[in-house]
Each structure stands twice: as C-alpha cells, then as structure tokens.
A and B are shown apart, each in its own frame.
Chain A
C-alpha cells in the first residue's frame, strides 16, 4: 500500500523532471566552438582539401563526430568544448596540409615548365652555336682559299716582274726604255724604223721589233703604240703619218705573236714632243714611236 502511494507520488515527479530536462535540451544552443567546427569541416569537405588530403579530412570527421556526441551526451562539460575546438583544428590541419600539397604541385609544375623552357633555350643556343661554328669554318675555308689565291697571285706577279725585268733588259739593248705613269715606255727613233715620209718598216727595224716582240710575248699586258712626228708639215699630214706608222708597228708586233686585242695604235702627230723642234737633233728626237706597256690589270 505504501509502495503504491509512493509510486503515485513518484510518477508526477518523474514526469516533471523529464519535462524539465527535455525543455532544457531544446533550449540548448550549440556552443560557438561546435558551430565553427561544423563550418570548418564543411569547408574542408567541399573544396580541394578532400581531393588532396582525404586522410586528414577523415580524421576531422571522426573528431567532429566525437564532439557532436559529447555535445549530445553532456553539453555542459568543458571537455565538450575542448572536443569541438579539437575538431575544428583537425579540419584546419587538413586544409593546411592540402594547401601544402597544392603548393608543391604548383612548384613541381613550374619546375617542370622551367626545365622544359631551359632545355628548349639550351637547344636553341646549341643550334645557334652550331650555325656560328659552321659559318666560322666556312669563313676560315674562304680565308684559306683567299690566302692561297693571294699567295699564288703574289707569286704570279713576282714571276711576271721577273719576266718583265728580263724583257726590259733585252729591250734596253736595242731601244730606250723608261718608266712613267703610263707604264714601261719603249722609244724607237723614227729614222731607225722608217724612211722619211714613209710608214713601211725598214728591214733593220723588223729585226729590232722581232726582239721586242720576243721579249713581250706572253706577258699578257695591254700595249699602246704611239706614233709621233716633228712639227714640220701640216698637222693633218703629221697626224695621218704618225697614225700609219703606229699601225705599222702594231701590225708587225701582232704578226709576231702579240695578241691583237691587247695592242692598239694611236697617231699623236706633233703633240707630246720630247725635245725642241727648232734644232735638227730636237726634231729627230721628236720623230719616234713609243710602245707603252701598261701595267697588267688585276
């Protein structure tokens, strides 16, 4: 009987206590730390963190579950707040680790690109170097060829000079030889070559010209045969006579093997006297033929 009364008393009391508890739970707002932990975990789960560092995200998940459980079981315990903070930190660790991994990936990518770019620049530089080497080799070959050609040319010139000296020595025995700005000038007196007012070569003249032709043959140097007269007679006559005499000498030298295209004839008449026309000797000196051997054009 007593126990029934007790029970009758206890039931409303228990109901009241239960009601108070339920009411208290409903009023309980989750602590700030737990709200922050939930938000942090949501961030970690939605971004690149879950892709790059799923292990730490999983740990954060477990930590959050523990915090939630503690909050359900004993919301007023200080340890509940500790667990919520711990869960938030775990999510933050996951995010920081993922950021590290992402930075490493970026660095690796940049380094790969750097290696590729350096390698391509190196290749380009090598290509340029090869081209430069080739160009240098070519230039050296050209230089050697030019040096060889110059040496040959120099040798040829020396040979030519030697031959010319020989020729000059030969000619000097039979005619006056001098050098002026036109080249080597061989002067033959008119009396030696022609009779007065004639342009046919004397027999003795031919012998001299033979020697000159022998000496000049093969030199391949351009020559001009100039004919000169004194100032006796008309200018036209003298011009004509000097041209004919120059041509006679030219034709004879050509007949003796001097190449036709290397030798020309020009009558100067009384122009360019070498002596005074007032005296007999002077006029004799002016009547002359000059064979000008021009320096060889290189």
Chain B
C-alpha cells in the first residue's frame, strides 16, 4: 500500500516537471516572431535555402502556439527551435547576398582587365 502511494506521488511530481506548471513562454514567442520578421526583412524569402528555414520557423511557431497552456516546457523548446530556424534563414540570405556582391566585384575586375570572363 505504501509503495503505491509513493509511486503515485512520484508520477504527479514528474507530470508537474513536464511543464504544465511552467508559465506560458509568451516573451520567447514574441522574440521568435521578431526573429522571423528580421529574416523576412533580410531577404530570406527570395533565397531558396533561406525560404525553407523561414517556413520551418513559421511552422514551429504555430506548433508552439498549439502547445502553449498544455505543455509549456515543450512549447518553449519548440520556440527556441523556431528562433534558430529564423536566424539560420537570415544567415543564409546574408551569405547569398554577400556571395552575389563578391561575384559582381569580381566581374567588375575582370571587365576592367579586359578579359570579360567571370571568376
């Protein structure tokens, strides 16, 4: 009888630790939303790789919203994932733009040298 009581108590504690007792991560969600906006403004929608991660970020953000209230711990984890997806989208967009700029500079140089070729 004593064993059953102890087991029940343990399970309750575990369930509580699972996140339902945590406050909903509203601030984190807002930060993720802002990251997504930055990635969009940074040109991610026009770079295929970046666009993919932007979509993943949006999906994670939606998923976290569904989890909020039920499993706040998981919701926070998914929000962190959404943020990192949005940050990756922005990094990829920036890398693509930087590469294009480098290629243009190289083309200018080749044009000036009179070869007309691309690197």
Q: With A83-B77, A93-B88 given, is the CB distance from A100 to B112 under 8 Å?
A: no
User: Quick check: A93 and B80 within 8 Å, CB to CB?
Assistant: no
* Bound-complex Cα distance A117 to B102 (A): 17
* Bound-complex Cα distance A230 to B98 (A): 109
Please give me the residue from chain B that is nearest to A111 by CB atom: B105
User: Quick check: B78 and A82 within 8 Å, CB to CB?
Assistant: yes
* Bound-complex Cα distance A89 to B35 (A): 15
A82 partner, pick from B81, B92, B113, beta carbons under 8 A: B81
Interface SS majority for chain B = helix
User: Quick check: A89 and B113 within 8 Å, CB to CB?
Assistant: no
User: Quick check: B84 and A90 within 8 Å, CB to CB?
Assistant: yes
* Bound-complex Cα distance A86 to B77 (A): 9
A101-109, A175-183, A250-258 - interface stretch: A101-109
User: Quick check: B80 and A104 within 8 Å, CB to CB?
Assistant: no
User: Quick check: A106 and B88 within 8 Å, CB to CB?
Assistant: no
* Bound-complex Cα distance A73 to B99 (A): 42
Q: Nearest Cβ distance between residue A65 and chain B, in whole angstroms?
A: 15
Most chain A C-beta atoms within 10 Å of own C-beta, residue among B78, B81, B109, B112: B109
* Bound-complex Cα distance A117 to B111 (A): 11
User: Quick check: A110 and B84 within 8 Å, CB to CB?
Assistant: no
User: Quick check: A96 and B94 within 8 Å, CB to CB?
Assistant: yes
B91 within 8 A of A: yes
* Bound-complex Cα distance A97 to B74 (A): 28
A92 within 8 A of B: yes
B101 partner, pick from A89, A90, A97, A103, beta carbons under 8 A: A103
* Bound-complex Cα distance A113 to B110 (A): 10
B residues with a Cβ closer than 8 A to A are 53, 73-74, 77-78, 80-81, 84-85, 87-88, 91-92, 94-95, 98-99, 101-102, 105-106, 108-109, 112-113
Interface SS majority for chain A = helix
Q: With A96-B88, A100-B91 given, is the CB distance from A82 to B80 under 8 Å?
A: yes
A78 within 8 A of B: yes
A-B pairs, top 9 by smallest CB distance, nearest first, are A103-B98, A96-B91, A110-B105, A107-B102, A106-B102, A99-B95, A89-B84, A82-B77, A100-B95
* Bound-complex Cα distance A118 to B109 (A): 9
User: Quick check: A110 and B81 within 8 Å, CB to CB?
Assistant: no
* Bound-complex Cα distance A99 to B99 (A): 8
A260 within 8 A of B: no
A100 partner, pick from B53, B78, B81, B98, beta carbons under 8 A: B98
Q: With A79-B74, A106-B102, A117-B113 given, is the CB distance from A85 to B81 under 8 Å?
A: yes
Q: Nearest Cβ distance between residue B31 and chain A, in whole angstroms?
A: 15
User: Quick check: B109 and A114 within 8 Å, CB to CB?
Assistant: yes
A96 partner, pick from B73, B78, B92, B108, beta carbons under 8 A: B92
Q: With A85-B81, A93-B84 given, is the CB distance from A110 to B106 under 8 Å?
A: yes
Type the 1/0 row for A181-200, where 1 means its CB is closer than 8 Å to any CB of B: 00000000000000000000
Q: Nearest Cβ distance between residue A265 and chain B, in whole angstroms?
A: 73
**Hey, which chain B residues are within 8 Å of A79, CB to CB?**
73-74, 77
**Hey, which chain A residues are within 8 Å of B105, CB to CB?**
106-107, 110-111, 114
**Hey, which chain B residues are within 8 Å of A100, CB to CB?**
91, 94-95, 98
* Bound-complex Cα distance A104 to B53 (A): 23
Type the 1/0 row for A208-220, where 1 means its CB is closer than 8 Å to any CB of B: 0000000000000
**Hey, which chain B residues are within 8 Å of A118, CB to CB?**
112
**Hey, which chain B residues are within 8 Å of A107, CB to CB?**
98, 101-102, 105
**Hey, which chain A residues are within 8 Å of B77, CB to CB?**
78-79, 82-83
**Hey, which chain B residues are within 8 Å of A92, CB to CB?**
88, 91
* Bound-complex Cα distance A255 to B20 (A): 143
**Hey, which chain A residues are within 8 Å of B113, CB to CB?**
117
**Hey, which chain A residues are within 8 Å of B74, CB to CB?**
78-79, 82
